[in-house]
Amino acid sequence: MSQHLADDLPGGTGGGRLRVWLKASAYTRRLLLGSGGDPWVSAPQYLAYFSQAQGLLRPDVAVVEVGEMFDSWLSRHPEVAAELGSKRRLSFPLRKLLEQDEPRQILAEVVEAVIANLRGQTPLVLAMPSPKHWLRHANALAGRVGVELDPDGIEDAAMYMADLMRSVSAYPVGGVLLEEHPTDSDMEATDVERYRPLINVAKHYRWSLALRPRGAAPASPALAEFDAVISPIIRVPKPASSGVDVGAVLWHGGSLPVLDQGQFYFVEIPAEQQPELVLESLAWLRA
Distances (CA, A) of 207 to 124, 153, 172, 199: 10, 25, 9, 10
This prediction's pTM = 0.95
The SS3 of residue 95 is helix
In tens, the pLDDT along 26-40 reads 999 999 999 889 999
pLDDT of residue 221: 73
CB 84 within 8 A of CB 138: yes
Domains of the chain as residue ranges with CATH? 5-286 (3.20.20.210)
Contact 124/64 with Cβ under 8 angstroms? Answer: yes
b/e per residue, 82-99, with b = 16+ CB within 10 A? eebbeeeebbbbbbbbbe
The whole-number pLDDT of residue 164 equals 98
Digit-coded pLDDT (tens) for 4-27? 898 999 976 556 889 999 999 999
Query: Percent of the chain, pLDDT > 90?
Result: 79
Q: How confident is the model at residue 80 (pLDDT cuts 50, 70, 90)?
A: very high
| Per-residue pLDDT at 249 exceeds 80 | yes
Please tell me the distance from the alpha carbon of residue 203 to that of residue 221, in angstroms, as a whole number.
15
Distance between CA atoms of residues 44 and 251, nearest Å: 33
Is residue 99 predicted with pLDDT exceeding 60? yes
